[in-house]
Amino acid sequence: MEGTSKFLKEMFGWEVWPTQGEDTYLMHNGQPIMNIVQYSEGMVQGGVPPHIKNYIDVDDYDKSKKMALDKGALLVHEAEVPDFCKLGVLKIPGNLYLAIVQYFKRQPWQEDTSARNT
């Protein structure tokens, strides 16, 4: 988890807070922003699909991608949706996956950008 924690701190300014159970919380400015859980057999039996990804909204896709690669991430998939977005799926230290996305036009859900630094 140390490599994952360092990567997320350097990329997004997030702190990683493991708990006693299976959950791990990502914090920003002392506030929880995301809960991550290792995919388990119980989730498979419960019907949770194995392809859930977290999409992190970034201001500059190319800059963020370069920063991620420089910090040890591997680009797994990249796509551009004309007139909508550019995105890349990254395998980050700790063998976790996330996607970074830059929208070409501001979307209705993009009100608070205080949790990102790229």
Q: What is the pLDDT along the chain (118 residues), one digit of tens a residue?
A: 677 788 888 888 888 877 766 667 777 787 777 766 666 777 678 776 666 567 888 889 999 999 999 999 999 999 998 888 899 988 888 877 888 999 887 665 555 555 554 5
Task: Count how many domains the chain has.
Answer: 1
pLDDT of residue 7: 85
51 domain-assigned: yes
Residue 54 lies in a domain: yes
Query: Mean pLDDT in the chain?
Result: 79
pLDDT of residue 72: 94
Q: Is residue 116 in a domain?
A: no
pLDDT digits 0-9 by tens, 20-44: 666 677 777 877 777 666 667 776 7
Evaluate whether residue 117 is within a structural domain. Answer: no
Give the side-chain half-sphere CA count within 13 A for 110: 13
Q: What is the pLDDT of residue 71?
A: 93
Structural domain includes residue 94? yes
Domain assignment of residue 112, yes or no: no
Question: Could you identify the residue written with the tokens 């919380």?
Answer: 25
**Residue at 52: amino acid letter:** I
Q: Is residue 92 in some structural domain?
A: yes
| Per-residue pLDDT at 8 | 84
Identify the domain containing residue 92 by its residue range: 2-103
Q: Taking a C-beta distance cutoff of 8 angstroms, is the pair 59, 118 a contact?
A: yes
Say which CATH number the domain at 23 has.
Answer: 3.10.180.10
56: closest CA among 20, 30, 92, 83? 92
**Domain-embedded: residue 88:** yes
Write down the pLDDT at residue 78: 93
Strand-pair category, 96-103 with 55-57: parallel
